[in-house]
Structure 1
Amino acid sequence: MSDLFDQPASRAAPSALRPLADRLRPAALDAVIGQDKVLSPDGPLGAMLASGSLSSLILWGPPGVGKTTIARLLADATDLAFVQISAIFTGVPELRKVFEAAKLRRTQGRGTLLFVDEIHRFNKAQQDGFLPHMEDGTILLVGATTENPSFELNAALLSRAQVIVLERLSLADLERLSQRAEQELGRALPLAPAAREALLEMADGDGRALLNLIEQVAAWKIDKPLGTEALAQRLMRRAAKYDKSGEEHYNLISALHKSVRGSDPDAALYWFARMLEGGEDPRFLARRITRMSVEDIGLADPQAQTVCLHAWETYERLGSPEGELALAQAVTYLALAPKSNAGYVAYKAARAAARATGSEPPPKHIRNAPTTLMKEQGYGSGYAYDHDAEDGFSGQSYFPETMKRPVFYYPVERGYERELKKRVEWFAKLRDKRGA
């Protein structure tokens, strides 16, 4: 039974038929490129191996960073049988066979490292099915996922496994990988220096994608090194990783929002462009930048909200791609506008106070008194009409009678709110003076 799932090296295809990515798969953990933070002696995996106490793991990282390779090498380093399945193609019957094979292997004195690719694609019930086999030692689970485990995996599963974060490969990592590929191929890539750098950038941090690109380039029959334009004509740039409903979506909109809040128009435009290039709906961006104008600029520049609404309207009239320029200009305006979240903070504080005070009624002097009975009860009695008062300000209290007067709005010394702060302070002095 175990022969169905174990994958011994003796069944590997002849070298000439194997893809370059498979031929360059590292034979030892210290040969893995780009993951020194987790594999070094001080890293989490290095420390586990040194202590001889490997636990179940979730390897979280983008495609092509070595998740499968690391799992294989961990099995080798701990003398565990390596069994690989994919959550996409494996159902309950296949899982039962895997667990039965692992139990049999255990009775023979050998443990099993079960590598589950795309583990986030298993539903809750399927994920729960791993738990008893992890707890009794039948399997040591190593799951691989490109999605945030916090959102995609059960809390029970996460409590029994350590999450290891793997990072996308840097350009330096990709260059090291390309040099290994050239050694394996026995020749240098026919690319000019600038084209070589462009090739690395096309891989977008994905080592497997780079090796696939290198295989294509190495197969070309050309007389002289290619430049960047010739390379671009022959190869398509890899699409940037972007899931409009996944974590990357929220990461990028967070980056855009924080760049605007940090008054960095260049960074804000960069993240705005990244989202458009990833296929984001410009209307979603229009809504979000309008929210930014209210939340982070507010009354420091009341015009900011109008700019955003006009940009949104312009996009609706022009559509893509012309209308996206109006949104980009709004992003730039927001980044350079004076910042204040005083209105946002005041709103949240007022909501909290409203929840805390329940159904406290308004003071009687500002209640309507349309009937004789209500007038007899004192409704409207003592109300001071502000337009008749000195400076157009009566200074009366408008809070519930049992409520101590709070302060929610604290304008900042930036932009137009400087003027509003002067008004707030002026009315506060008049209120004190008139004994409100």
Structure 2
Amino acid sequence: MEAEAPRPLADRLRPANLDEVVGQDHLLRPEGGLRRLLQARHLPSLILWGPPGTGKTTIARLLARDSDLEFTALSAVFSGVADLRKAFDEARARRREGRGTLLFVDEIHRFNRSQQDGFLPYVEDGTVTLVGATTENPSFEINAALLSRAQVLVLHRLDDAALEALLQRAEAALGTDLPLQAEARTALRALADGDGRYLLNMAEQIDALAPEAPLDTAGMADLLQRRAPLYDKAQDGHYNLISALHKALRASDVDAGLYWLSRMLDAGEEPLYIVRRLVRFASEDIGLADPNALQQALAAKSAYDFLGSPEGELAIAQATIYLAVAPKSNAAYKAFGAAHRAARDTGSLMPPLHSLNAPTRLMKDLGYSAGYAYDHDSPEAFSGQDHFPEGMRRQRFYRPSDRGVEARISERLANWERLRREQRGRDSG
């Protein structure tokens, strides 16, 4: 009776062999990583890292079949210590009979650190071949000890060609073409957002509702509603998208910057988190090439504080555009880093005496402030006096670019260096 029970389309279309898996050619082509592992006839423990609906569970099942291993599945969401102990006991019993076990753990990152440590002895002695599936970055979510005993394989979100292949399989299984106009079919694939399971579920829903005429994009959207984008404000998506925004602005790609800003806001990101990155970007990647950049970023913060969402988000967009089109320079960022390293390396060198104030007679007697040249009394208000510590040679930390305001700053610094050389010549003469 179970075999006759209705099954979702996504389950009915689950690949029967690795050749039927779509979208993961980098792993499954003849020279791909998984194929090489199978050809070596020694399957190590694996961590399959990828977005939902990319085939992690299916690949684990097929690996067990192709490696002659018993497939045992657990979900970290629903399983506890008792379930793990039972799985390990059963695997140990099979091993005594000469049979191996592939233990598949879905959402393995949801097990806490001590639970993950519990896998170690069974993985090390070969009681189980562990295949863990995760949507989160294993570097952050999987214990280092367990990670060192497993190979991480990255699964990609399904591209448009892979999603179209799945749609064609769905239509073959349903025995009919989906009632969609061409642009609606394209929009359906985009709505799936790389998730094959979600795409098949939507295809099944469209077929079940059986619209009388082929749907356009708007009609399909009304039928299916809008899918919330994949995004976790506390996990990998949060850091990936803010990194994409930062790098788009650094590349002066204003349109890509607005896209990633919109993606984050659309997913519910805290706007002030984004503004904090914009403020940092203004100092790190623009600096004095355009001193107004920092003011624009801070003004966006003030405007958002005053207006809130959604009105204040326009100020954030304005700042994003300004930062993207501003001249770029990391000279201040690099100068501060170099000065910081020099400060650590030189320890506790005292300032030269002429740099020190002498508010008391004792300090004057000790030579504090002796020989200080008041720059405003010098030609061009520049004395050329050295203010580095005694015993430390002059160093040049700040090297302005030739872009924006820094081009004028560079000319000013060059003039001061010329005056400084002339002063040294007079002093030595």
* TM-score, structure 2 normalization: 0.97
Q: How does 1:2-151 map to 2 (within 5 A)?
A: 13-15=2-4, 17-151=6-140
Which residue does 2:160 correspond to in 1?
171
250, 275, 280: which one aligns with 1:291 = 280
Q: Note closer, same or farther for the CA distance 1:16–1:99 as it changes in structure 2 (3 Å cut).
A: closer
| Residue 376 of structure 2, aligned match among 384, 387, 395 | 387
> Which runs of 5 or more residues in structure 1 are unaligned?
1-11
CA distance in 2, matches of 1:76, 1:153: 26
Per-residue deviation, 1:15: 4.9
Matched with 1:236 is 225
Aligned residue among 194, 201, 206 for 2:190: 201
Aligned positions of 1:311-326 closer than 5 A: 311-326=300-315
- Given the alignment, which residue of 201, 214, 235 partners 1:225? 214
Q: How far does residue 221 in structure 1 lie from its aligned partner after superposition?
A: 3.2
1:334 aligns with 2:291: no
Paired residue secondary structure (1:237): coil
SS of 1:143's partner is strand
In the TM superposition, what is the alpha-carbon distance from 1:13 to its structure 2 partner?
3.4
1:407 aligns to 2:396 (yes or no): yes
Asked whether the 8 Å contact 1:115–1:142 carries over to 2, the reply is: yes
AA partner of residue 251 (structure 2): G
Q: Identical aligned pairs, as a percentage?
A: 60
Mapped to 1, the partners of 2:347 and 2:403 lie a distance apart of 35
Aligned residue in 1 for 2:385:
396
Contact 1:15–1:23, Cα closer than 8 Å, also in 2: no
CA positional deviation for 1:191: 1.3
Q: Deviation at 1:16? A: 5.2
Once the 2 structures are TM-superposed, how far is the Cα of residue 286 of structure 1 from its aligned partner?
1.3
Shift of 1:59: 0.3
1:347 is matched with which residue: 325, 336, 343? Answer: 336
Give CA-to-partner distance per residue, 1:122-148, whole Å, 9 cap, x none. Answer: 111111111111111110000000000
1:322 & 1:252 partners in 2: Cα distance?
22
Q: Which residue of 2 aligns with 1:273?
A: 262
Residues matched between the structures, number? 425
Partner of residue 192, structure 1: 181
Amino acid across the alignment from 1:90: S
> C-alpha deviations, 1:103-156, integer Å up to 9, x for none?
001111110000000011111111111111111111000000000001111111
Alpha carbons of 1:328 and 1:15: their partners in 2 closer, same or farther (altered >3 Å)? farther
Alpha-carbon distance in 2 for matches of 1:194, 1:98:
48
Partner of 2:356: 367
TM-score scaled by structure 1?
0.96
Contact 1:41 1:50 in 2 (8 A): no
Q: 1:348: Cα distance to partner?
A: 1.1
Give distance in 2, aligned partners of 1:191 and 1:384: 82
Q: Is the 8 A contact 1:296 1:340 kept in 2?
A: yes
Instruction: Give secondary structure in 1 for the equivalent of 2:296.
Output: helix
Is 1:245 the counterpart of 2:204? The answer is no
The answer to whether the Cα contact below 8 Å between 1:61 and 1:167 also exists between their aligned partners in 2 is: yes
C-alpha RMSD of the superposition: 1.2
